[in-house]
Amino acid sequence: MPIRLGAVSYLNTRPLVHGLEHQTDRFDLRFDVPAQCAELLHANQVDLGLIPSIEYPAHNYRIVPGLSIASDGPVASVAIFSKVPTGQIQSLALDTSSRTSVALLRVLCARWFEIAPRLVSMPPDLDVMLGQCDAALVIGDNALFLDHGALGLEKVDLGEEWIGMTGLPFVYAFWAGRPGVAGSSDIAALQRARDEGLTATRAIGRQMFPESPEKADRAERYLRENVKYALGDPEIAGLRRFYALAAEVGALVEAEEPEFY
């Protein structure tokens, strides 16, 4: 039976899944928002999920080595959009599509921005979010393409803020599943898909945004310059630091050591 893969539907996933839809003898691929990817894995409805990193602790999962969605500087697609300076934010609307981004925001508010805003979970509609709160957490393609300057908003890039605080990369998501689900040949196939995807960023941009050459060009730059797809020693160190800080602020019950296939 093919391995059931649950992947994130955002642009930044595409290099990781490049060509996997054609390997139907090995993989059965579906797309969902990040939080749903985790729910499907927890419910055993997929075998490997590209899950938010905050979803890994407290489950008996293993991580596919070498692969992640990470940043080592500005990420561009995970940000606060604010009507007021960061230090004056008293209420903050949360797009709960990615629990990792929410946990990262909680860490940054407590340990870096030194603010304690009221957090309100809301659907990702910026007008509604900013109609009720001082600022909004927006993720994915919505954040990447939002012209905050035209709207008179401040954009606070959470990837940039994290590295400012820790000096480490931030890991947003990775492939994970139960022990024994993925063998060495499956892992090699996933790693090859990433390698081939990174050579196809221009084509991916055009495929995702065929109606807009401007968006396609921005998508290519984003995939090449903002998102990182490795999971080496620096990224694992950043992941450990995130788990420790998330536990400190109550976003995790306790930190957990990453284990790999």
* pLDDT tens per residue, range 79-108: 999 999 999 999 999 987 778 999 999 999
Looking at residues 15-33, what average pLDDT do you find? 93
CA 215 – CA 13 distance, rounded (Å)? 16
- Report how far Cα 92 is from the mean position of its chain's Cα atoms: 19
Query: Could you tell me if 204 and 15 are in contact, meaning their C-beta atoms sit under 8 angstroms apart?
Result: yes
Query: Could you tell me if 97 and 138 are in contact, meaning their C-beta atoms sit under 8 angstroms apart?
Result: no
Residue 244 CB partners (closer than 8 Å, separation 6+): 255
Strand partners, 30: 6
CA 39 – CA 10 distance, rounded (Å)? 17
Residue 45 — φ and ψ, nearest 5°?
-95, -10
pLDDT digits (tens, 9 = 90+) for 233-261: 999 999 999 999 999 999 999 999 999 99
CA 212 – CA 249 distance, rounded (Å)? 42
Structure tokens belonging to residue 82: 């604010």
Looking at residues 123-146, what average pLDDT do you find? 94
Query: Could you tell me if 26 and 189 are in contact, meaning their C-beta atoms sit under 8 angstroms apart?
Result: yes
The domains located in the chain, with CATH, are: 3-70+170-248 (3.40.190.10), 78-166 (3.40.190.10)
pLDDT of residue 201: 97
Residue 118 CB partners (closer than 8 Å, separation 6+): 90, 91, 92, 133
pTM (2 d.p.)? 0.94
For helices 201-208 and 213-221, give the axis angle rounded to 10 degrees. 140
For helices 158-166 and 233-248, give the axis angle rounded to 10 degrees. 90
CA 96 – CA 139 distance, rounded (Å)? 9
pLDDT of residue 67: 98
